[in-house]
């Protein structure tokens, strides 16, 4: 009875769950069920998209947590429809919708439809692009996209790369290659991969702008170098790395018998979107024999820009580059890449396992991407970018990013005309840092608290989502524009809300300060 295949696969003819086989799988005999379920899921998302009137519901953790907490995961629901209904309540109803034009908070973009289609295909086939025998054509597609990106960057014919989970992983790989390459090149062929950190590792130093991404410090810690190995370099008036300050910092380190290991330049800082002076930094790195890594997680869209490509000039001199397609290429998370000028440097992450990628396979020329990745099992995220390029092309992506930059610059020009809004900089890409600054306001805790609470109030209402940051200890607000549908009317609405909320907060906070002084007498 147990070996009767008619019982083992009886569920294939059923549309619901079976007592014999409670786990519906992606199989040929369930193709119709797969299509139906996919249609139901798409219909659910469609209904939510059509009903979304603002980027966020404003729900609080205290309000939503009980609904999730009270779900008994050991007791499944009666049908897939019930599962979707529940998901609607605990997720989709209160999700943060990045496609909404009044979402201008973080570096989250609306996504290209071809890429969403790719996600549907990838999820069903479930390809893992670590080895050829698990991916076949997917390996070739990813490698083609790696080569295409290298061509856009200009790293040369000897370059190579790999898709990653995001900028943090890519920056980690950049620092890993810089560290191990230094040891191999300048410490008599010393292999950190085989022997661990050399005795001089405590002297390694990484130089990066004071406005660079925190993942540089995380990478240093994870690589055994520590936070103290990261030297913050002062920025200039445009919030770019100051080249003179960089030269002085490197010289000071050399005078202290420290080892300048790498310079991390940023093409699109998280807060300001500023692009460091890449050609000048490249020259300094070449003169001092220092690894140059460019974190272009945000600014990578400039690679396909028709109008602003010159902003990223000099990236072609880098030893390694971080690119986040899931930011300014409008791809769903995750879709990122790491690229190295010299493909041989990627050998530091290669390890041959007989069951997976035996040395014999490499010697035969089998293209196994795991040989240059710090991940083993890895999604076929390259498919998203592939389908987007094949449908709209690089020019289509570039035009979308150009529109975003144009909009941000127009928004900034208008904001500069407002008496109670102070813009801190002129946007290089599409980030605008500013604050509410009422008449006669002075620097201090009250002004900082007012701007902090403005952002909190907007988030609680959910009608518009903005970001916040601190600069030199002062609290600022931030627009990160990545949606070409965000209009001047949207920005005027958000600024109007900021000014209304700010005026009320400013009055209450100052009244509280007066009462505090009076009560202390």
Q: Write out pLDDT tens, residues 366-423.
A: 899 999 999 999 999 999 999 999 999 999 999 999 999 999 999 999 999 999 999 9
Say yes or no: 153 and 25 in one domain.
Answer: no
Place of tokens 């900028």: 167
Say yes or no: 209 and 178 in one domain.
Answer: yes
Please say if the pLDDT value at position 359 is more than 90.
Answer: no
Say yes or no: 396 and 372 in one domain.
Answer: no
> Which pLDDT score is estimated for 11?
46
pLDDT band at 358 (very low <50, low <70, confident <90, very high): confident
In a domain, 74, yes or no: yes
Q: For residue 118, with 0-12 CB atoms within 10 Å meaning exposed, 13-18 middle and 19 or more buried, which class applies?
A: buried
Domain around 412: 390-520
Helices (H), 421-487: 445-461
Q: Which of 453, 403, 425, 488 is nearest to 109 (CA)?
A: 403
Say yes or no: 287 and 407 in one domain.
Answer: no
Say yes or no: 409 and 511 in one domain.
Answer: yes
- H/E stretch holding 265 reads strand 259-266
In a domain, 290, yes or no: yes
Say yes or no: 61 and 147 in one domain.
Answer: no
Mean pLDDT of the chain: 94
Query: By the 8 A CB rule, do 265 and 293 touch?
Result: yes
> Which pLDDT score is estimated for 310?
98
Say yes or no: 362 and 423 in one domain.
Answer: no
**CATH number of the domain enclosing 19:** 1.20.1650
Q: Which of 419, 186, 404, 199 is nearest to 304 (CA)?
A: 404
Asked whether the bond before 70 is cis by omega within 30 degrees of 0, the reply is: no
**CATH number of the domain enclosing 216:** 3.40.640.10
Phi first, then psi: give them for residue 323, nearest 5 degrees: -130, 130
Say yes or no: 153 and 237 in one domain.
Answer: yes
Number of structural domains the chain divides into = 3
Say yes or no: 370 and 413 in one domain.
Answer: no
Say yes or no: 513 and 467 in one domain.
Answer: yes
Between 84 and 517, name the one with better pLDDT. 84
Helices (H), 167-317: 167-186, 192-195, 215-222, 243-255, 278-288
In a domain, 103, yes or no: no
Read off the pLDDT of residues 262-279 as tens digits, 9 standing for 90 and up. Answer: 999 999 999 999 999 999
Residue that terminates a domain, selected from 329, 354, 380: 380
> Which pLDDT score is estimated for 516?
58
Say yes or no: 376 and 409 in one domain.
Answer: no
Residue that terminates a domain, selected from 97, 126, 154: 97
> CA 369, 374, 377, 381 torsion: positive or negative?
negative
Read off the pLDDT of residues 275-333 as tens digits, 9 standing for 90 and up. Answer: 999 999 999 999 999 999 999 999 999 999 999 999 999 999 999 999 999 999 999 99
Residue that terminates a domain, selected from 332, 355, 380: 380
The pTM assigned to this predicted structure is: 0.94
Say yes or no: 370 and 405 in one domain.
Answer: no
Instruction: Enumerate long-range contacts of 152-155, CB under 8 Å, 24 or more apart.
Output: 152/303, 152/304, 152/394, 153/303, 153/315, 153/316, 153/318, 153/321, 153/323, 153/339, 154/315, 154/316, 155/316, 155/318, 155/321, 155/339, 155/340, 155/341
């Amino acid at each position: 009875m147990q070996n009767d295949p008619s019982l083992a696969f009886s569920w294939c003819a059923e549309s619901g769950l079976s007592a014999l086989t409670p786990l519906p799988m992606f199989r040929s005999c369930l193709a119709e069920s797969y299509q139906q379920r996919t249609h139901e899921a798409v219909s659910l998302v469609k209904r939510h998209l059509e009903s979304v009137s603002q980027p966020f519901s404003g729900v609080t953790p205290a309000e939503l947590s009980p609904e999730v907490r009270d779900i008994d995961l050991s007791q499944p629901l009666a049908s897939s429809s019930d599962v979707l209904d529940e998901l609607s309540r605990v997720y989709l109803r209160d999700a943060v919708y990045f496609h909404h034009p009044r979402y201008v908070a973080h570096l989250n973009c609306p996504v290209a439809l071809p890429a969403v289609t790719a996600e549907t295909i990838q999820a069903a086939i479930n390809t893992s692009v670590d080895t050829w025998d698990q991916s076949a054509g997917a390996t070739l597609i990813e490698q083609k996209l790696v080569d295409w990106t290298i061509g856009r960057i200009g790293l040369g014919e000897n370059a190579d790369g790999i898709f990653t989970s995001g900028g943090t992983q890519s920056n980690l790989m950049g620092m890993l290659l810089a560290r191990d390459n230094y040891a191999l090149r300048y410490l008599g062929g010393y292999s950190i991969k085989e022997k661990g950190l050399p005795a001089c590792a405590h002297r390694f130093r990484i130089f990066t702008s004071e406005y660079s991404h925190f993942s540089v410090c995380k990478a240093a810690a994870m690589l055994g170098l520590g936070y103290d190995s990261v030297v913050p370099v002062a920025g200039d008036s445009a919030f770019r790395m100051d080249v003179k300050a960089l030269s002085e910092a490197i010289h000071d380190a050399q005078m202290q018998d420290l080892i300048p290991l790498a310079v991390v330049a940023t093409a699109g800082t998280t807060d300001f979107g500023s692009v460091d002076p890449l050609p000048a930094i490249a020259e300094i790195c070449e003169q001092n024999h220092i690894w140059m890594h460019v974190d272009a997680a945000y600014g990578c869209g400039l690679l396909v820009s028709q109008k602003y490509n010159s902003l990223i000039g000099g990236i072609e001199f880098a030893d390694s580059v971080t690119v986040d397609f899931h930011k300014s290429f409008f791809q769903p998370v995750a879709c990122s890449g790491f690229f190295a000028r010299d493909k041989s440097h990627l050998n530091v992450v290669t390890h041959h396992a007989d069951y997976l990628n035996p040395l014999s396979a490499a010697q035969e020329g089998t293209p196994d991407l795991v040989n240059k990745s710090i991940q083993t099992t890895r999604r076929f995220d390259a498919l998203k970018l592939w389908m987007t390029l094949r449908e709209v092309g690089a020019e289509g992506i570039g035009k979308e990013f150009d529109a975003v930059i144009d909009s941000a610059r127009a928004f900034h020009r208008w904001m500069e005309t407002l008496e109670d809004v102070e813009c801190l900089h002129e946007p290089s890409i599409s980030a605008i840092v500013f604050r509410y600054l009422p008449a006669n306001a002075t620097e201090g805790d009250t002004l900082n608290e007012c701007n902090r609470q403005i952002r909190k109030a907007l988030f609680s209402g959910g009608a518009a989502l903005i970001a916040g940051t601190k600069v030199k200890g002062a609290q600022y607000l931030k627009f990160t524009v990545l949606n070409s549908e965000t209009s001047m009317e949207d920005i005027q609405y958000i600024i109007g809300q900021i000014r209304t909320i700010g005026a009320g907060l400013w009055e209450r906070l100052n009244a509280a300060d007066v009462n505090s002084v009076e009560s202390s007498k």
